Every structure is written in C-alpha cells, then in structure tokens.
Structure 1
Amino acid sequence: MSGKVAARKEALREKLVDLAEAQIAKGGLRSVKARDLAKDAGCALGAIYNAFEDLQALYMAVNGRTFRRLGIMAAQSVEDVQAGPNERLIIMSEAYLGFAAENTNLWRAMFDLEMSTDDEVPDWYLVALAGLFENISGPLSEIYPDMDAESLDLMTRSLFSSVHGIVLLGLEKRISGVPPEKIKIMISMLLRQIS
C-alpha cells in the first residue's frame, strides 16, 4: 500500500471513529448505522469495510478512546492530591461517576459491546483497558504492599466491578441500587473499608 493510500485510509478511519463516537454519544451504540456513517463521511458504504473489518472493530476503536479518556481522567483527578490511597480511590471513583453521568452513552457502549474473554481482542484495546486499571492498582498496591501481582490484578478488577456496579445501578435507578444522590456515599462507604 502506497504512502498516500495508507494516509487516506488512516484519515478515513479517524473520520469514521469521530462520527461513530459522536453518534454513540448522542444515541447509544445501537444508533450507529453503516449507511449513515458512509453518508456523513462522504464515502461509499464499502469503504467503511476497507477501513475496518466490521462495525464491531469500529465500535472497539470508539471504546478504546473512551477507556483512554477514563484512564487519563482518573489519573488527573488525583494528580495534585495529597491523600492516602483510600481517599485517592474515592476521588477517582467520583470522577468515574461524573464521567458516566456526563457521557452515559459512550460509557455504556464500553460494556454494551458484546465481547468476551474468548474473543480475540487487539493488543491496543487491552493496553487502553490496562491504563484504566493501573490507576486503581497503584493505590491498592500501597494498601496491600505484599500482595502478589495476580492477586493485585484480581483485587483491581473486583474493585472496578464493584464501583461500576454501584454507578450502573444508581444511574439507571434500579430498585437494587441506591438513589443517584447517594451513589457517592455508597462508593465512599465501600472504599473506606479496604485496609
């Protein structure tokens, strides 16, 4: 592939990701339609599938961006904070809640995409997810300095899943959750118990 062709393909990929991201933000993952993307991008329908293997790959590109944004946001939320590890976890969790509330459709798309651990997942996607998890594992390694890497990873994922569940159930106003105004309190209660 010549340099110009590769550059055009990359430019189209970026444009499609931008358009899909905007559509997901507006209407959720299921609102993205290939024909609408092609029209908005000014390309043929088939060009989408030259740029991406399928729509799943395009959704993953959007979700990768969102995971990176969340990782950056989590790191920035505690950047200038002089606090213990539990407090930093609480601050990051509140930032996570804020992101989910303000970007609900993009946030939901990360978990609505049908993927399992049996699926082949690109390395760049796993790196974006790992970047988010590193923000959690840092304070946890301070709380549990003798914990081995495998256990720390499991604890990180457990904590992420717990906070995510609290946020999800609360924002969706599920009967098993808490009212939205109490989500921060519930997260804080959970994270203060880690020792």
Structure 2
Amino acid sequence: MARRNDHSPEQLRALTLTTVTAFLEQQPAADLSLRQAAKLVGYSAGTLINLFGSYSYLLLALNGHTMDEMSGDLSAAMDQASTAKDKLRAMAEQYLAFAQLHPHRWRLVFEHRLAEGETLPDWQQQRIDRLLALVEECMLPLYPDASTTEIQLKIRTVWACVHGIVHLTLEDKLFATPAISGKALIDDLLTRYLPA
C-alpha cells in the first residue's frame, strides 16, 4: 500500500480507533489482523506500527477507547439513581447492557494480553482504576466502618461476581431451566450480598 499523508498523527489515531471499533461492532477481534486494520483505514501496516508501537498496543488503545465509553455509560446510569445500592445496581445492569450491545469490544478488553516484556501503560491502568473507583463510590457508603483492606475485598468481590455473570450471560453458559437472565442474577447477587 502506498504511503499516505492525508492525516496528522492525532487524526490518524482517531480514524484508526473509529474504523476498528466499527469493525468490532460486527466481527470478533479474532477476525482482525494488523494488515486488515491498515487496509480498512487506508494506510500501510507500517504506518500503524509507527503510530501505535505494535499491533498489541493498537488493540490496547482500542480497549482504552472502549473503557472510556463504558465508564461514561456506567457513570450516566449511576447518576440516574439516588441511593448507593441503587447506583451499584444501575451500574451493574449498565455493564451487562454494554457487554450485550458491544460483545466483541467487551470481550477484547478482557481477552487481550500484552506480549511478554510489554508493560501496561499508565494511561490504561488509570482507566482500570477509574472503573473500580465507580464501584468504590457506590460501596463506601454501604460499609462506612470497613477498613481499606475490607472495602477493597468487597469491591473486587462484587466486580468479579458481576463480571462473571456478564461473561456467562454473553456465552450463554448459565445452563438454567427455565432460563434466568443476567439481570435477574445481578439483582439476586446485590440483594443478598449488600447490607440491608
């Protein structure tokens, strides 16, 4: 593919993320390659490597883009609720809804692994911390006397359970007869786990 200089690096980065995001709305990440991404964007694979550093970091940047969108959706859902429990429930249900609406993008966030020797950039760790901070915001009022260690355990327990429910719902692996929705499982989890 011939070299192009139609876009600034910032524009090309945005174009790449938008284009690959659109691809993942229809097809799984396993169906994408660096060459295919480059072809979709209309630039050479080398240009994308120069821009992102590697194909792995391109996918990581895409995951950052997805996490930003997810964080915005979760925050908006929380803003519609008044109590800490209702905020947590709204956030968990929106997390499920996001995964159901964008399953390929959601899976990529959790399935992508950096190559050995590659380190998670600070900008991605900040996104992870931001998502966990949303859970913490809901849970701190429910456990006002909990130590830092206790609250961190509770945050990750709720996060792991909700994430597991979402994953099993997407994979259709709940194996319940009659069928049970992910939303019903989230409601049951939070009703039983959270203090009255």
Normalised TM-score (structure 2): 0.86
SS in 1 for 2:25: helix
**In angstroms, what is the RMSD of aligned CA positions?**
2.3
Alignment-derived partner of residue 95 in structure 2: 96
Identity score, percent:
26
Higher mean Cα deviation, 53-62 or 21-30? 21-30
1:179 CA displacement:
7.1
CA displacement at 1:158 relative to structure 2: 1.9
Whether the aligned pair in 2 keeps the contact of 1:68 and 1:129 (CA below 8 Å) is: no
Query: 1 CA distance for matches of 2:80 and 2:139?
Result: 18
| Conserved 8 A contact 1:173-1:179 | no
Number of aligned positions between the proteins: 188
Verify the 8 A CA contact 2:66 2:106 in the aligned structure 1.
Answer: yes
Distance 1:119 1:177, change over 3 A: farther
CA distance in 2 between counterparts of 1:144 and 1:133 reads 16
Work out whether 1:11 is the aligned partner of 2:25: no
Check whether the contact 1:23–1:31 (CA below 8 A) recurs between aligned residues. Answer: no
Give the direction of change, closer, same or farther, for the CA distance of 1:150–1:119 in structure 2 (3 Å limit).
farther
Aligned partner of 1:174 in structure 2 is 173
Residues 48-67 of structure 1 correspond to what in structure 2 (within 5 A)?
48-67=48-67
Deviation of 1:23 after TM superposition, in Å, equals 1.7
| Structure 1, unaligned runs of 5 or more | none
In structure 2, do the counterparts of structure 1 residues 177 and 95 end up closer, same or farther at CA, with 3 Å as the change threshold?
farther
Shift of 1:57: 0.3
Query: Which digits, 9 at most, give the CA deviation of each residue in 1:72-123, with x for residues without a partner?
Result: 11111121322x222221111111111111111111111110259x951111
- Equivalent in the alignment of 1:20: 20
Provide the rounded CA distance (Å) in 2 between the counterparts of 1:24 and 1:34. Answer: 14
Gaps of 5+ in 2: none
Q: For residue 42 of structure 1, what is the amino acid of its counterpart?
A: G
TM-score, normalised by the number of residues in structure 1: 0.86
2:153 match: 154
Give the distance between the partners of 1:178 and 1:64, measured in 2 at CA: 37
Q: Describe how 1:81-160 pairs up with structure 2 within 5 A.
A: 81-82=81-82, 84-115=83-114, 120-160=119-159
Question: How far, CA to CA, are the matches of 1:171 and 1:178 in structure 2?
Answer: 17
Check conservation: 1:16, 1:41, Cα contact below 8 A. Answer: yes
